[in-house]
C-alpha cells in the first residue's frame, strides 16, 4: 500500500472512495443519536446531511453508510464511518475506524481510497494521523497466503487528507504510523506461517534478511554455541526434535553513540516454532494453534525492525531462543534435572512448560551481553487466558519504574495489558525437593504467576517486564477492522517503551 499525506479539501479530491468520519454528539444517555460529521466542508455536509437525520446511520463505532455518486463532490463514493460517542472519543477509535474503511474497500475491490482527517478537540492531529496510518495498514493484512483461490484484495493507494497544512511533525507522525504497522504486519506474517515452513532455521533466515535490509547486526547460532554457552534449559527443550534450534541475536546501535552509562535494553522472545507439549503431550484439539508459539520471538524481531527504522537513540539488543518442542526417544522427560546457563538446576515436572526454559537462558544471556533492562514476550501459559480473557494480555514485573514506562506507552498505542502479581509470596510455587527450582507445579492455581516466578529467578535485580501474550496473540473471529489470526500484539507498545529510554 502506498500512503500519502496531503493538504487538500476532501470535496475537491477525485477518488473512487472518500471516507468521512462522524461521531454521536448526543449529550445525554437517553437522547436519540445525533450523528455529526467531523469535517467542515460545505459540499460534503450537503451530500451527507439528509442521511444523518434519517436514522439510517447513528455513528456507532465502526458503523458504515455508503453514498454512491454524491452530488457536488469529486469522489465517486462517499463512505460515512462512525467513531461512537463524541464525549468518549480518542485516537484509538480512529485507528479502528480507519481499519473499517480498508476492510470495507477490500471485498469491493476498491483499491484506491482517501480518508479525511477528522477535526475534533479530542483528536490531536499528529496522534490522529498516526492512528489512521496504523489502523489502515493493520487492516490490510490477511491470512490466506496458501489458498489457490486467493484473491489479492490489498489496497494499492491510500491518501489521508488534512484540512490544515502538513507540518514536519504531522509528516513524522504519519511516517511513524506506517513503520509501526508495517513492522506489526511483518510479525503477523511470521506468526501465521505453519510449523513445517517456519522452522527455527527459517526464522533465523528471515530475521537475518530483515536485519540486512534495515541495518541491524544479526547472528544466528546453532546447537554448538548453545552447548558452549551452557544453555542447558534451552538445549533440553530442543533435544527431542530433528529440526536444528536457532539462537538469534540482533543488535541495534543508534546513529549517535550514547554515553557510556546509558541503558542497554534487552528484548527476549520465546521462539517455539511448534509446541506439541513434548513427552507431556498436548491433547489433539487445537494443537494446530501451537504454530504460533513463536509469537513472542516474532514480536521482538519486529520491534527491532521498527526501532531501526525509527532510528531511536538508545542501544537495544534482542535474543530469541527458537526450537521445536517434540516427543521423541531423545526428548527430555518429566523428572529430568537440567542446568540453566545461570547455573541454577531445574527439575522438569512437565515438558509442556518449555517456554520458561528457553526464556530462562535467553534472559540470562541478554544480561551477559550487557542488557541493563529486560523485557520478554511469550505465549507462555493458557492460565493467562483464564485470568484475563482475550482482551488484556498479562504483564509481570520486578520493577515499578520500568512498568510505569510501559503503562505510559500503552496510552499512546491503545493496547491492553493488565499487571499481574509476581511477588515473592508466590515463590513456594516453584520450590523443588531435589533441584533449585521446578518448571511446573501441577496446581490449577495461579499458573501464569508460577511461570513468571520461574522467569524471575533468572533476571536478578535487573529491571524486567514479562509479557504473557498467550491469549491475545491469535484472534479466533475477525473484527470489522482486523482479520482473524495473528494480532501482532505488543510490538507498538514495546517500541514506545524503548523510545522512553532514548536520549
Ligand atoms: N505454549 C503453551 C501456552 C499456550 C497455551 C499458548 C495456549 C497459547 C495458547 C505453553 O508452552 C504451555 O503449554 N504451557 C502450559 C504450562 C503448564 C504445563 C504448566 C499450559 O499453559 O498449559
Ligand atoms: Zn508448552
Ligand atoms: Zn509453548
What is the distance in A from the centroid of ligand 1 to the CA of 378?
Answer: 10
What is the distance in A from the centroid of ligand 1 to the CA of 187?
Answer: 21
- Residue 12: the pLDDT is 96
Residue ranges in the chain modelled with pLDDT below 70? none
- Residue 27: the pLDDT is 87
Sheet with 217-221, strands from edge to edge, namely: 217-221, 246-252, 315-325, 264-275, 373-378, 464-468, 393-397, 417-419
Going by alpha carbons, the residue nearest to atom 22 of ligand 1 is 382
Residue of 96, 106, 270, 356 marked active site? 356
- Residue 287: the pLDDT is 98
Pocket of ligand 1 (CB under 6 A): 275, 293, 350, 352-355, 379-383, 440, 447, 470
Residue of 230, 282, 344, 479 marked active site? 282
Tens of pLDDT, residue by residue over 152-199, are 999 999 999 999 999 999 999 999 999 999 999 999 999 999 999 999
Going by alpha carbons, the residue nearest to atom 3 of ligand 1 is 381
For this structure, is 282 an active site residue?
yes
What is the distance in A from the centroid of ligand 2 to the CA of 379?
Answer: 9
Tens of pLDDT, residue by residue over 4-13, are 999 999 999 9
Burial 363-402 (b: 16+ CB within 10 A, else e): bbbbbeeebebbbbbbbbbebbbebbeeebbbbbbbbeeb
Contacts of 392 (CB under 8 A, 6+ apart): 416, 417, 418, 472
For this structure, is 479 an active site residue?
no
Interatomic CA distance for residues 74 and 264, integer angstroms: 52
- Residue 444: the pLDDT is 87
Tens of pLDDT, residue by residue over 66-90, are 999 899 999 999 999 999 999 999 9
Could you list which residues have their CB under 5 Å from ion ligand 2? 275, 352, 354
Amino acid at each position: 500500500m502506498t500512503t500519502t499525506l496531503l493538504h487538500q479539501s476532501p470535496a475537491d479530491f477525485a477518488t473512487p472512495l472518500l471516507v468521512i468520519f462522524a461521531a454521536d454528539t448526543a449529550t445525554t444517555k437517553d437522547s436519540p443519536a445525533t450523528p455529526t460529521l467531523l469535517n467542515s466542508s460545505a459540499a460534503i455536509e450537503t451530500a451527507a446531511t439528509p442521511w444523518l437525520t434519517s436514522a439510517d446511520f447513528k455513528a456507532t463505532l465502526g458503523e458504515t453508510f455508503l453514498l454512491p455518486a454524491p452530488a457536488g463532490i469529486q469522489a465517486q463514493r462517499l463512505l460515512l464511518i462512525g467513531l461512537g460517542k463524541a464525549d468518549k472519543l480518542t485516537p484509538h477509535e480512529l485507528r479502528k475506524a480507519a481499519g473499517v474503511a480498508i476492510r470495507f474497500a477490500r471485498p469491493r475491490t476498491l483499491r484506491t481510497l482517501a480518508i479525511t482527517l477528522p477535526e475534533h478537540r479530542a483528536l490531536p492531529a499528529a496522534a490522529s494521523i498516526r492512528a489512521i496510518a496504523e489502523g489502515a495498514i493493520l487492516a490490510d493484512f490477511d491470512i490466506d497466503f496458501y489458498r489457490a483461490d486467493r484473491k489479492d484484495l490489498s489496497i494499492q493507494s491510500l491518501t489521508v487528507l488534512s484540512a490544515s497544512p502538513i507540518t514536519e511533525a504531522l509528516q513524522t507522525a504519519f511516517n511513524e504510523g506506517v513503520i509501526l504497522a508495517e513492522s506489526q504486519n511483518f510479525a503477523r506474517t511470521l506468526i501465521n506461517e505453519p510449523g513445517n515452513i517456519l522452522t527455527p532455521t527459517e526464522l533465523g533466515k528471515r530475521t537475518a534478511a530483515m536485519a540486512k535490509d534495515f541495518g541491524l547486526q544479526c547472528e544466528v547460532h546453532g546447537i554448538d554455541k548453545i552447548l558452549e554457552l551452557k544453555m542447558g534449559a534451552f538445549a533440553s527443550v530442543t533435544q527431542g526434535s530433528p529440526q536444528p534450534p536457532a539462537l538469534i541475536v540482533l543488535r541495534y546501535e543508534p546513529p549517535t553513540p550514547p554515553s557510556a552509562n546509558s541503558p542497554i535494553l534487552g528484548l527476549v522472545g520465546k521462539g517455539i516454532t511448534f509446541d506439541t507439549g513434548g513427552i507431556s503431550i498436548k491433547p489433539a484439539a487445537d494443537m494446530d494453534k501451537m504454530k504460533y508459539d513463536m509469537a513472542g520471538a516474532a514480536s521482538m524481531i519486529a520491534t527491532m525492525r521498527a526501532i531501526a527504522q525509527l532510528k531511536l537513540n538508545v542501544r537495544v539488543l534482542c535474543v530469541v531462543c527458537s526450537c521445536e518442542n517434540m516427543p521423541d526417544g531423545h526428548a527430555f522427560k518429566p523428572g529430568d534435572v537440567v542446568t540453566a546457563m545461570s547455573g541454577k538446576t531445574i527439575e522438569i515436572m512437565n515438558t509442556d512448560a518449555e517456554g520458561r526454559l528457553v526464556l530462562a537462558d535467553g534472559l540470562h544471556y541478554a544480561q551477559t551481553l550487557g542488557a541493563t533492562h529486560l523485557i520478554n514476550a511469550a505465549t507462555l501459559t493458557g492460565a493467562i487466558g483464564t485470568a484475563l480473557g482475550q482482551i488484556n494480555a498479562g504483564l509481570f514485573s520486578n520493577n515499578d519504574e520500568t512498568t510505569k514506562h510501559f503503562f505510559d506507552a500503552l496510552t499512546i498505542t491503545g493496547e491492553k495489558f493488565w499487571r499481574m502479581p509476581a511477588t515473592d509470596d508466590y515463590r513456594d510455587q516453584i520450590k523443588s525437593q531435589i533441584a533449585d527450582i521446578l518448571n511446573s507445579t501441577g496446581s490449577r492455581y495461579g499458573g501464569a504467576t508460577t511461570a513468571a516466578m520461574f522467569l524471575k529467578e533468572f533476571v536478578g535485580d535487573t529491571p524486567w517486564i514479562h509479557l504473557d501474550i498467550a491469549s491475545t496473540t491469535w484472534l479466533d473471529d475477525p473484527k470489522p477492522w482486523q482479520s482473524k489470526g495473528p494480532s501482532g500484539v505488543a510490538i507498538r507498545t514495546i517500541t514506545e517503551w524503548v523510545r522512553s529510554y532514548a536520549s
